[in-house]
Amino acid sequence: MENGAVYNETTEPQAKSPRRPFGCTLRHLRGWRLPIKALQAILSLVAVICEEIVEACITCGGRYFFEFISCSAFLLSLLVLFVYCTDIYQTFGEDKVRRL
């Protein structure tokens, strides 16, 4: 009896997990949560663009604060979409993602 025959009869090939394009999944943002997060990212991007259109101002303190807040909101909403819609959520684990 050959060694190859023994291993072929007793071992099973490991099942590969189905590959998703770019590891994208919508399992963690179901229902109304996905459209709301996408709308949040779009609106914060629009706020950044509108703020950049303004060329001159008399007192610019509020404008710089608005720029900081709108840019931060855009980047954080992209981060949330990225974490919840990719395999990173499963890699880190639910408890670490919630703490983050």
Res. 37 pLDDT band, cuts 50 70 90:
confident
Res. 14 pLDDT band, cuts 50 70 90:
low
User: How far apart are alpha carbons 99 and 77 in whole angstroms?
Assistant: 16
* Mean pLDDT taken over the chain: 78
> CA 85, 90, 91, 95 torsion: positive or negative?
positive
User: How far apart are alpha carbons 24 and 2 in whole angstroms?
Assistant: 44
| The pLDDT of residue 5 is above 70 | no
What are the residue boundaries of the structural domains of the chain, listed by start? Answer: 30-99
pLDDT digits (tens, 9 = 90+) for 52-68: 888 888 888 888 898 89
| The pLDDT of residue 17 is above 70 | no
Q: Which two tokens stand for residue 3?
A: 């060694």
| The pLDDT of residue 20 is above 60 | no
User: How far apart are alpha carbons 19 and 23 in whole angstroms?
Assistant: 7
Answer yes or no: are the C-beta atoms of 19 and 80 closer than 8 Å: no
